Amino acid sequence: MLLRLLCVFAAVGALVSAPAPVAVADPCPDVDLVFARGTAEPPGLGRVGDALANALEPMLGGRSLGRYAVNYPASYNFLTTGQGADDARGHIAWMADNCPGTRIVLGGFSQGASVVSMLAGVPPVGQRIGSIGSAPALDPALAGRVSAVAVFGNPGNRFGSALSSTGQFAGRTIDLCSSGDPICGAGRDRSAHSNYELPPYPGQAASFIAGRV
């Protein structure tokens, strides 16, 4: 009896002292959302990017969703916008090399949409204000790795450069402009540029993306 108890105690001790399994994040998600936030938003996906990710994840049928926040100033100095395009380009290239099975989704809000325009090879605000710190278009081979694009409040839309029909992401982009938004359209309601995290916009973009990934 004593020997049996000692064996039980030894087994319990081994369980207690054994190291707990460590969860390891998958560096190659099934779908990777690369999103550039809008002007003056703190680092991260931004409120529109977060809303899009939250709407998209349950539409993926259990597939994993990675989130990459484009690293750039997003300041009122629009000459730095190209830094976002360069950062997104580097991340897309890394994913293409290291995660060939991952479906890449690209998105941006406001100034972040200008980042995406640069990657598409489209002048962010037409030719009205110059290059605003433009960056080279994404290499066609890398552009081919982008399954879907979603932009919100895209300034280029106002100048006839909607990414749904212009540039190398045409045909796989949803370019959403709220009615009345003076940044992406001819409206005069400044507050209309600040509602893209609200329905129906995240759901519309997520449904478009889910249909392509």
Active site positions, annotated: 110, 181, 193
CB atoms within 10 A of CB 140: 9
The single-letter DSSP state of residue 183 is T
Measure the CA–CA gap between 170 and 69, rounded to whole angstroms: 23
Backbone angles phi, psi at 111, to 5 degrees: -60, -30
